[in-house]
Amino acid sequence: MKIAVKDACVLIDLINGGLIGAWFKLGIETWTTDLVIRQVRKESQWPVVEALQATGVIKVKSFDDAELKKVRDFQYAASLGIEDQSVLFLANELKAVLLTSDKKLRAQASAAKVRVMGILGILDELLAQSIITQQAAVEKLQAMMEQGAFLPSGECQKRLELWLRSQ
């Protein structure tokens, strides 16, 4: 994974879980879209995202009217909201991994043959690269869950049990 495109949920969850800095230690070129940025502006995580955008750590693809038409016409994105359409389109264009926890977006990305990873996959990668410890993974996942992250509870529980047992 060399390039990743993030949706709003993943940006928010990584910030809520205190993992945004750990993510960037993976050295992955990170993108989002102007439509996602507009969505996140309404959230309490905006100051962090704004700083990452301002420093160029997160690259932002802006769409003009002609490009938005292409986004809307992308066959796999028709049933999604425009923000999700934009990240799926961009991930496809960049041949990047799409980072999302949204079930509908994940399904459409899979149909479009776009590789998808969610928060649990990101945690797995951070552990595999020894960027965080299992104890930190437990704490960060619990923090995200407590703050209302849309994560599969069964899979979260499996990971928590595995990480707690392995310590």
Average pLDDT of the residues of the chain: 94
Same domain? For 105 and 140 the reply is no
User: Residue range 146-156: average pLDDT?
Assistant: 91
65 and 86 in a common domain: yes
Q: pTM here?
A: 0.92
Chain segment 38-65, per-residue pLDDT in tens: 999 998 999 999 999 999 999 999 999 9
| pLDDT at residue number 1 | 64
Question: Residue 107 pLDDT > 90, yes or no?
Answer: yes
Domain of residue 105, residue span: 3-119
Q: What is the CATH number of the domain that holds 63?
A: 3.40.50.1010
Q: Do 109 and 69 belong to one domain?
A: yes
Of 104, 165, 103, 98, the C-alpha closest to 135 is 165
Is residue 77's pLDDT more than 80? no
Question: Do 103 and 152 fall into the same domain?
Answer: no
Runs of H (alpha helix) within the chain: 8-16, 20-24, 34-40, 46-54, 65-73, 82-94, 103-111, 119-128, 134-146, 153-165
Q: Residue 166 has what pLDDT?
A: 81
How many domains are contained in the chain? 2
**DSSP assignment of 31-44:** EEEHHHHHHHTTST
CB 36 within 8 A of CB 10: no
Least confident of 76-80, 82-86, 160-164: 76-80
Whether 158 maps to a domain, the answer reads yes
Residue 51 belongs to a domain: yes
